[in-house]
Structure 1
Amino acid sequence: MRLTVPLLAVLTAALATPACKGEEKKDLLAFPDGYQPQTADLTFNKERLEAFNAMSDDERDAFVKELQGQAGQFKGQAVLISGNGLGETVEDYQHGDYEVVAHTPDGVLYEITIEYKIFTNRAAGKALSPHRPLEFTGTLIDLRYESTSKPRRLYVRVKADTLTTITK
């Protein structure tokens, strides 16, 4: 009788535990495969950010001026942090009536991360999924690179032409 209760408990636990089928477990919180800020064809992927990082201050200024002159040519990917509407009295309202704040949580190159302020219309901004990766194209408004701070950061402001959540 003394052995029956522990033996019964062991057998019940063994039968109640599901068997492993050898399948890989999918990380439910992982970003979709389409979110690749380091390797995708973006304005600041790992390769292009490395070239930008190696430029002198004058070369960077010239590069930024060139990007600002190319309407609709800026491409980026980031993770949505927040979004909010802009009133007509706000200075940035001229770029769009909705502001999306996004960032690359992991360094694109070394520890360098990118913080984005993306301006769009209210309908496009409200349609985005919170804390999910997004992809956008647009026109560069302004860029500020903090090369002396640790970790280094790139602050980018873009007027978006297209703005979508990455789902695949």
Structure 2
Amino acid sequence: MSRALSLLMIAAALALTPACVDKSKEPEFLKLPPGYNPVEADLTFNKEHLNEFNSMGVKERDKFVDDLKAAEGSFRGQALVQSGNGLAETVEDSQYGDYEVMASVPDPVLFEITIDYQIFTSTELGKKLTPHGPVEFSGTLVDLRYDAESKPRKLILRVKADNIQNITK
């Protein structure tokens, strides 16, 4: 009796376990546009550039980050919007823009490295963004933190965006 009950429990567990999801059968409206490609697109931290950054020593990374901060308007990125909100003048970060967008690249760009963005822009540009949609932006790097010791590794970037827009194609 107990053996039959055990087999019944195992069969029920297997029957209720969802099968692997086939991404090619994903509905068209859920697919990201082809223009969203943070791995291969010409971005500051695409797969190729992130591999170079990952291979640098600490001093090289620091110099690289300082050079990026000094090169105004040269940073380019893509991510999925998580949230956005206005910043009051009394908030310290309002010096970079009056609207803050939190965005991320949830799938690893290289190995297991993921990227999180805190993007500062104008309210006019920020309010036009689609919630949870892909965006492309360019601007100036404000700060970079690389958690090389954490698992998964994470790159956390703060960017002052001069231009930010939805990716539709």
Fold-level match, TM-score > 0.5? yes
Distance 2:97 2:90 in 1: 12
Alignment-derived partner of residue 116 in structure 1:
117
CA distance in 2, matches of 1:97, 1:155: 20
Deviations 1:62-104 (CA, angstroms, capped at 9, x unpaired) = 0000000000000000000000100111000000000000000
Deviation at 1:26, TM superposition (A): 5.2
Provide the aligned C-alpha RMSD in A.
1.1
Structure 1 residue aligned with 2:13: none
Q: 1:95-129, CA deviations, whole angstroms, 9 ceiling, x for partnerless residues? A: 00000000001000011011000000111000000
> What residue in structure 2 maps to residue 166 of structure 1?
167
Determine the structure 1 residue equivalent to 2:80.
79
Query: Which residue does the alignment assign to 2:11?
Result: none
Shift of 1:140: 0.4
Structure number with greater Rg is: 1
- Match of 2:28, SS? coil
Return the letter of the residue paired with 1:162.
N
One-letter code of the match for 1:48? H
- 1:148 corresponds in structure 2 to 149
Shift of 1:28: 2.4
Opposite residue 164 of structure 2, the aligned amino acid is: L
Aligned to 1:15: none
TM-score (norm 2): 0.84
Q: 1:27 offset after TM fit, Å?
A: 3.4
Q: Which residue of 2 aligns with 1:28?
A: 29
Q: How many residues align?
A: 145
SS of 2:106's equivalent in the other structure is coil
Identity of aligned pairs, percent? Answer: 59
Task: Name the counterpart of 2:56.
Answer: 55
Amino acid aligned to 1:38: V
State the TM-score, normalizing by the size of structure 1.
Answer: 0.84
Q: Which secondary structure state, in structure 2, belongs to the residue aligned with residue 35 of structure 1? A: coil
The equivalent of 1:8 in structure 2 is none
Deviation at 1:30, TM superposition (A): 1.2
Question: Which of structure 1's runs of 4+ aligned residues deviate more than 3 A?
Answer: 24-27
Match of 2:107, SS state, is coil
Alpha carbons of structure 1 residues 51 and 120: separation in structure 2 relative to 1, 3 Å: same
Residues 25 and 43 (structure 1 numbering): CA distance in 2 closer, same or farther, change over 3 Å? closer
